Structure 1
Amino acid sequence: MEGKPSQPPNGSWPESQNGSGAEAAPAANLTFFSYYQHSLPVAAMFIVAYLLIFLLCMVGNALVCFTVLKNRHMRTVTNMFILNLAVSDLLVGIFCMPTTLVDNLITGWPFDNTMCKMSGLVQGMSVSASVFTLVAIAVERFRCIVHPFRDKLTLQQALVTIAVIWALALLIMCPSAVTLTVTREEHHFMVDARNRSYPLYSCWEAWPDKGMRTVYTTVLFSHVYLAPLTLIVVMYARIARKLFKASGPARDGEKAAVEGRRASRRKARVVHMLVMVALFFTLSWLPLWALLLLIDYAQLSEPQLHLVTVYAFPFAHWLAFFNSSANPIIYGYFNENFRRGFRAAFGAQLCPLQWGSHKEAYAQRPSGLLRRRVVVDVPPSDSGLPSDSRPSSGAPRPGRLPLRNGRVAHHGLTSEGPGCSHMPLTIPAWDI
């Protein structure tokens, strides 16, 4: 997945003690490049842009992990897949963003061979795991909505699916990790502002034959991008068709019709969120895939190759990495439960009471006073999308939370203290 299309010539340049080997070859055979690829204003723009998405990626995806792991009611099948997406995005932010930024600012590869392999492998595994996870989410939503009477996926099965996803991601990126290597380019040097020369190194996939690299790029594009996203589009189209054709509940009456419309809107919001995640992933990675295919299939001239390397690849990498930073924003915009979790994460340090101090918000009753307790079924299959069917034998039975005046006790939230604007102790039953 590395975006440097350099093609080092065969052979190696002998080592030099002072960082310049100009004396070892005729001057006419030497090629010198500027140490920095961009002027100071352009480099500053790249640094600010990459720093922004790095901070968004770290903070946003850490909040997603915190929200899902901290709140028991958020540990659903869909949210486990969303958690896996957040973990893969964190790996991209930690291992790929800094190295790619430096690589795009400096001519050549400034790191060692291990970092070359690690950066390419983690980036490839992360994008593969992300798209496979998006497929798993689409399949889970498809089974839940289009075929509601089939057995639902359990949490244990979801964790096994996540393990299989990472195993497949590692398997498909193994050829890239094996062939990625750092080589010293013969007769090529970098020159800094003080006219000091340095040997030029490149991190690239050293395939025995150029045709093998082209075949591998095509296989990656079809298996990691084109085919999975085509499957996602087909499944979400079926889901949308099912939601549009779904009728209200079987009960008669205006109240039942209102509840049916409310349930349909709730389902549509969740599916809309997942569709936005898949659509944004598609658009974010499309330019980088287009450039990789262009390098392998088009016969670019030397000026064209320089233009693509210096300007097109840094932007394409930034756009692909921006996808890792935007997913938490999409969750917070479309899903109320994530918004509550994000607010709680920011406000946890300001409040004296911690999560979990009100385990039984409505369980306690005044002595001698008998009241009927009404409960609502809370399905375990989604972060805000109730199941359309009765619980199957293979899935865990839905939890039951006390319901009072149309609101459910939110187990695990603290009460509001002085100077603490926490979430309310209750949330609407239809938001779970």
Structure 2
Amino acid sequence: MENYSFDTTQWNFPNVIWIRNSNDEILLKVVTLIPVVIFGITGNSILLLIIAKNRSLRNMPTNILIANMAVADLVTLAICPLLFLFHDSYQNYILGAYGCRLEGFVQGAFLITSVINLCGISFDRISAIVMPLNMDSLRFTVTRAKIFAVLSWILGLGLALPLSIFRHFVVRQWKNFTEKFCAENVVILSVYWHVIIATLVWIPLSLMIISYTAIFLKLNYYEKQLLKRETPISVSYKKKISKTLFIVLVTFVLLRLPFTMLVFIREQKLQKSEMNQIDGTFYLLWYMAHYMIFVNAAVNPVIYGLMNGNFRRAFAQTKFCVSCHCNKNHDITTGNDHANVKVRFVFYEEPLHLTLEPREPCTGLECERTRQIFTVQ
């Protein structure tokens, strides 16, 4: 634990006193964050609504994990940007002792939970296509997916707990300034951050690369088996797998890698700084890294919803409308008519016809006869 018992009342504050960022800088950051927050909250809400209202989608294990990830992303976008703006805009830490304990814990728990579900989605996809049919015991079922979703929150909260335990609020009086900041136990958290970064970036990235590569190789094998039979089959999955792999990996790397790098830089600076503060251009980079994390939470519904044919069909067949019911009452005393207008939003659900995604592409005679085209959602 850092020692802050040194008497600083006889000394002037050694850093520049700026109290708060300029109004223009705060406004610029708010303006850049608002579209991301609105887009992300809207996208994740629509995704959850579609899954909740379509039984066919709810009965797919992958969609349960996608819904759970959407919940984590939704809460992240609803809470974390505001907390980060308060932290980023002021020189002193204005969230107080409780904010110091909760800020990192809340953001870490939501991010970890989202990533754990992302790993579950990758595993479900590789198990559905690559694993043999006699290995059903290793695959997700609806019940197992629900259990996994609950465990992801428990694990996320547990892994984020040190961010609450090993942080504390410090008030330090200088001769010309009262300093308030959220201090970290740099000895313990410097090791802990390596675990968090591995959980948030390296483990899911490795799992996604392995999963999509194995899926691509497996489907490529089946394509060769079918082509050997000289059957005029149109194969479209390779291009789609390549596109999906490229978008998922590039998005994940571009939006999470900067945060990873800056965490290590920040820890090194904190260990060398007696002020337990970071200044200079790092503030701007730190904001940009968090901004990219929020963008990642906002675009996940597009990657795992809009790019999925079943979700696109469900969205197209889902109608939202507003119906108004007016009841007119005649006022005897004034002779005027008053209308009591009740507005209600109605969700119409049409039967959804899903594209079945086989556990293992068929290669037998029946497949040749029907000249079935396999696609991966």
* Fold conserved between structures, TM > 0.5: yes
Name the SS for the 1:355 alignment partner: strand
Match of residue 327 from structure 1: 300
Match of residue 81 from structure 2: 97
Instruction: Tell me the matched-pair count.
Output: 339
Match of residue 401 from structure 1: none
Match of residue 161 from structure 1: 148
Does 1:71 find its partner at 2:64?
no
Deviations 1:25-76 (A, max 9, x none): 4464576611213x33322211101112111121111111111111112121
Q: CA deviation at 1:333?
A: 4.3
**Distance change >3 Å, CA 35–CA 220, structure 1 → 2:** same
Distance 2:375 2:212 in 1: 23
Does 1:312 find its partner at 2:285?
yes
Q: CA deviation at 1:163?
A: 1.6
Deviations 1:313-350 (A, max 9, x none): 111111111111111232454223333444566x4125
Query: TM-score if structure 2 supplies the norm length?
Result: 0.77
Does 1:222 find its partner at 2:195?
no
Match of residue 395 from structure 1: none
The one-letter amino acid of 2:207's match is L
Does 1:59 find its partner at 2:53?
no
Structure 1 segments, 4+ long, off by >6 Å, are 250-253, 299-304, 428-432
Distance 2:266 2:355 in 1: 52
Query: TM-score if structure 1 supplies the norm length?
Result: 0.68
Does 1:174 find its partner at 2:161?
yes
Mapped contact 1:8–1:186 kept (Cα < 8 A): no
Query: Among 5, 16, 23, which residue is 1:11 paired with?
Result: 5
Match of residue 286 from structure 1: 257
Name the SS for the 1:168 alignment partner: helix
Q: Which runs of 5+ in 1 are unaligned?
A: 1-6, 14-23, 191-198, 362-375, 380-384, 391-427
- Which runs of structure 2 are paired with 1:140-289 in the superposition (5 Å)? 140-149=124-133, 150-151=135-136, 152-187=139-174, 199-205=178-184, 207=185, 210-247=186-223, 257-258=233-234, 261-262=235-236, 264=237, 269=240, 272-273=243-244, 276-289=247-260
More helix by share: 2
**Distance change >3 Å, CA 378–CA 230, structure 1 → 2:** closer
**Distance change >3 Å, CA 43–CA 144, structure 1 → 2:** same
Of stretches 77-86 and 299-308 in structure 1, the one that deviates more from structure 2 is 299-308
Distance 1:285 1:377 in 2: 33
Mapped contact 2:97–2:168 kept (Cα < 8 A): yes
The one-letter amino acid of 1:11's match is S
Does 1:115 find its partner at 2:99?
yes
Distance 1:166 1:334 in 2: 26
Mapped contact 1:120–1:177 kept (Cα < 8 A): yes
Name the SS for the 2:168 alignment partner: strand
Q: Which runs of 5+ in 2 are unaligned?
A: 324-344, 363-372
Distance 1:250 1:29 in 2: 75
**Distance change >3 Å, CA 147–CA 203, structure 1 → 2:** same
Distance 1:228 1:110 in 2: 34
